[in-house]
Amino acid sequence: VLGLLVWTLIAGTEYFLYPAFGWVMFVAVFYWVLTVFFLIIYMTMTYTRIPQVPWTTVGLCFNGSAFVLYLIAAIVDASSVTKDLDSHNYNSWAASSFFAFVVTSCYAGNTYFSLISWRSRTLQ
């Protein structure tokens, strides 16, 4: 839901005029789609039917990459928001920056828990 907020707040503006917001949109939409995909896999218990895939490693790599790229996107988003660019879109861009940092912290927490799960699986 928070990732959806990030890209809808930007998509409702003239973000295409500023390349930095294009990067933020790419990261937000890409990881939103992948998160929904993994959510469906876990909710339907599909991962139990595919035991060849190391799901703890996949989860760690996914959450780690999401954390790093979302952190970069949030920093780019926050540094690109100025009143000088377009005051009409300022509030949307500022809100998207805030929510990008919230999503980053969520992926950071999820990366931590994925790391704990991955380490416990490798020790067994």
Predicted confidence (pLDDT) per residue in 66-108, tens digit: 999 999 999 998 998 877 765 677 888 889 999 999 999 999 9
Predicted local distance difference test score (pLDDT) of residue 122 = 64
Amino acid type, 105: S
Q: What band does 57 get if pLDDT is binned at 50, 70 and 90?
A: very high
pLDDT band per the 50, 70, 90 thresholds, residue 123: low
Averaged pLDDT for residues 21-43: 93
Instruction: Write down the pLDDT at residue 107.
Output: 96
Task: List Cα–Cα distances, 74 to 2, 8, 52, 65, 92, in angstroms.
Answer: 13, 15, 35, 14, 14
pTM as predicted: 0.86
Could you list the residue range(s) of the whole structural domain that residue 66 is in? 1-82+90-122
Nearest 10 degrees: Cα torsion 38, 30, 78, 20: 170
Is a pLDDT exceeding 80 seen at residue 15?
no
At a CB cut-off of 8 Å and minimum separation 6, what does 45 contact? Answer: none
Q: How far is residue 59's CA from residue 113's CA, in Å, rounded to a whole number?
A: 10
User: Band of the pLDDT at 27, cuts 50, 70, 90?
Assistant: very high
What the block records as the tokens of 60 is 């760690």
Q: Which of 85, 109, 111 is nearest to 97 (CA)?
A: 85
Average pLDDT rounded to a whole number, residues 54-65: 94
Please state the domain count of the chain: 1
Rounded to 5°, angle at Cα 23 from 19 and 27: 165
